[in-house]
């Protein structure tokens, strides 16, 4: 990429007569003839404003022979005897004719401020800092919430011990009577094979069977997807693309009131949307047919049930008469209610899994409980009575 260079001339201020903005080409004040010196900031040049985006000086570059020659003469040096500034390539002080000595100081402003595209005043438009800020804000809110939830969980899971008392023991027992009955069902012929039924003896050993397969006719069993040509499917996507160039400039002070500016064009990238298309197979739904038949089989049908429940006593089963083709199915449910004080009166319901366990609980018995701050209670292991 081609580079373009320009020489920019600076200004200085005379500290003897306070004349301001004297061009660097003048080594003595045009007003009072005071030679430019190192002291009093006389050799700290002002190069004017630069463009924020490109770093390019807003000043015109110098083109005249004399100024260019001064710019390329090297860093200024200051006379040991009269302090006047002199061209870097001149061996004799233009003011008092003294020779430059090895102790003569040279102006070293490049070291003071090596500058590169200064654009501190306006933030670059690429990453809006407001958006970044608010994203960070939400991150903090999220972290805060997590902390609150976390400490609640820790607080809530903390437990303390209380002693409860069994207020009542409850049981519910149900007996279901089911009978083996002949029913008509429908099924796919390919899934059916004839098999004789067998009746239960004392509620077991039965076979449901598949008998009397009849009334077969075709019926839709489902659908399948069939390829049906192709279709063009497009989605809108974005990609980064070069869209022209932007100028970027760097500047370097030359130690004599001039500055060298180097500008080059750098590729600029923009977000561009485009259509991403491809051909895809299109599908259509097609019905699938099979042959459906009616057949006979046997199933266990619930015909009757009896429920009994009581409290603070031993459980017993309800009685239900059982026919030849019947079976009985039993269900049992137990509850032990434990009252305790934790601020106010509360109750924990424990459900024993078996009759044996249920029978270990007695009304009035004390029970050590572990209660969490959330209010859930647990019976402590190593329970006294069991
Ligand atoms: Zn002056
Ligand atoms: Zn001198």
What is the number of domains present in the chain? 2
Q: Residue 333 domain-assigned?
A: no
In a domain, 78, yes or no: yes
Question: Does 15 reside within a domain?
Answer: yes
Question: Does 83 map to a domain?
Answer: yes
Same-domain pairing of 3 and 51: yes
Residues 90-129: b if buried by 16+ CB within 10 A, e if exposed: eeebebeeeebeeeeeebebeeeeebebeeeeeeeeeeee
Task: Give me the tens of pLDDT residue by residue for the chain, a chain 386 residues long.
Answer: 689 999 999 999 999 999 999 999 999 999 999 999 988 889 999 999 999 999 999 999 999 999 999 999 999 999 999 999 999 999 999 999 999 998 888 888 654 444 444 444 444 444 444 545 677 788 888 888 888 888 877 877 778 888 899 999 999 999 999 999 999 999 999 999 999 889 988 878 889 999 999 999 999 999 999 999 999 999 999 999 999 999 999 999 999 999 999 999 999 999 999 999 999 999 999 999 999 999 999 999 999 999 999 999 999 999 988 888 899 999 999 999 999 988 888 899 999 999 999 999 999 999 999 888 887 888 886 544 44
d(CA 347, CA 376): 10
Residue 39 Cα to ligand 2 midpoint, Å, equals: 15
Q: Among the bound ligands, name the one nearest to the CA of residue 95.
A: 2
Nearest ligand (C-alpha, residue 35):
1
- In this structure, the answer to whether residues 47 and 138 fall within a common structural domain is no
For residue 15, which ligand has an atom nearest its CA? Answer: 1
Q: Do 106 and 47 fall within a single domain?
A: yes
Ligand number nearest to the C-alpha of 84: 2
Are 61 and 139 part of one and the same domain? no
Domain boundary among 70, 95, 122: 122
Contact present, 256 and 74 (Cβ < 8 Å): yes
- Domain of residue 46 covers 1-122
Same domain, 92 and 153: no
Centre of ligand 1 from the C-alpha of residue 105, in Å: 23
Instruction: Name residues with Cβ closer than 5 Å to ligand 1, which is an ion.
Output: 14, 16-17, 19, 29, 31-32, 34
Residues 6+ apart with CB under 8 A from 163: 340, 366, 367, 368, 369
235: Cβ contacts below 8 Å, ≥ 6 apart: 275, 276, 277
Assess if residue 230 is contained within a domain.
Answer: no
């Amino acid at each position: 990429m081609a580079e373009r260079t320009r020489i920019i001339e600076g200004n200085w201020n005379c500290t003897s007569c306070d004349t301001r903005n004297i061009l660097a080409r003048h080594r003595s004040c045009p007003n009072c003839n005071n030679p430019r010196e190192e002291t009093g900031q006389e050799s700290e040049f002002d190069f004017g404003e630069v463009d924020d985006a490109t770093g390019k000086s807003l000043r015109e570059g110098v083109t005249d022979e004399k100024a260019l020659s001064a710019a390329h003469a090297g860093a200024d040096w200051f006379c040991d005897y009269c302090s006047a500034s002199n061209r870097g390539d001149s061996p004799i002080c233009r003011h008092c004719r003294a020779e430059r000595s090895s102790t003569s100081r040279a102006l070293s402003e490049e070291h003071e401020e090596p500058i590169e595209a200064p654009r501190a005043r306006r933030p670059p438009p690429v990453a809006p800092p407001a958006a970044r800020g608010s994203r960070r804000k939400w991150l903090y809110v999220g972290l805060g919430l997590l902390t609150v939830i976390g400490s609640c969980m820790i607080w809530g899971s903390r437990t303390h011990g209380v002693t409860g008392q069994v207020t009542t023991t409850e049981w519910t027992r149900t007996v279901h009577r089911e009978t083996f009955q002949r029913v008509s069902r429908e099924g796919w012929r390919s899934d059916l094979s004839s098999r004789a039924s067998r009746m239960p003896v004392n509620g077991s050993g039965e076979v449901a069977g598949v008998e009397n397969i009849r009334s077969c006719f075709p019926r839709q069993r489902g659908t399948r997807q069939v390829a049906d040509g192709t279709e063009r499917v497009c989605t809108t996507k974005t990609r980064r693309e070069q869209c022209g160039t932007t100028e970027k400039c760097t500047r370097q002070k030359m130690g004599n009131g001039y500055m060298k500016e180097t500008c080059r064009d750098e590729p600029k990238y923009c977000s561009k949307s485009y259509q991403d298309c491809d051909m895809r197979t299109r599908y259509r739904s097609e019905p699938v047919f099979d042959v459906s038949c009616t057949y006979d089989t046997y199933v266990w049908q619930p015909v009757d049930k009896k429920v009994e429940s009581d409290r603070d006593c031993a459980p017993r089963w309800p009685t239900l008469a059982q026919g030849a083709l019947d079976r009985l199915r039993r269900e049992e449910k137990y509850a032990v209610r434990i009252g305790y004080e934790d601020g106010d009166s509360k109750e924990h319901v424990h459900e024993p899994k078996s009759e044996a366990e249920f029978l270990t609980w007695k009304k009035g018995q004390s029970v050590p409980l572990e209660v969490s701050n959330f209010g859930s209670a647990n019976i402590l292991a190593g329970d006294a009575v069991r």
